[in-house]
Chain A
């Protein structure tokens, strides 16, 4: 399935998801579940976090991680938004943050705001431009310190200087 990046690029997903019972492949970039850490990986290492983990309270070493995948089992389940924020801000994670599961183009703005970089599009129901348009639909937000600039664009503009 195609991967959408925050800059609007569509690419192929080259990461290998490894099940909990499977051995790691001899080479390649791999994604394992959080429970398998610590682990020596053949290439770059990514982890997948289930959405009921209190990420901010985890003793997670993010330094060796190149990718963290967060799950949206349903588009109505918003836990991964708070997990993303905690990874970025409480754990200072700066690698790639990816959303997977039941995603809708209409939610991409929210996802970008809390720090997601890439989106695992598990459906071809929507034309590609629907996804890329959605990245630009909402440009103004009120929320303090969520974005990577550390400030709400609206609050910053109001109190510039």
Chain B
């Protein structure tokens, strides 16, 4: 299991939560994010975040703590797990996302 940091933000145009990938793209899937395992790498990610904010692609970029097990990346904090995965309650017309079971399993 790898422990480290992932850079997240909201896309400016529609507000959707996104994560920075290894190819400097923004993905809606946290599993596609680049995980910085060293503090220096994390600082570099944060700097990329500021650059992306300046070009007005995303807003509110910040680092979150996360762990990677196999292909799956899971944030450490409850808040970030819910943010990465969607509401834990089934909302009308939309079912609880499958990652939720995993998110709350970690929470329990």
In the complex, A touching B (Cβ < 8 A): no
Which A residues lie at the B interface, using CB under 8 A?
A: none
Q: Which residues of B contact A (CB under 8 A)?
A: none
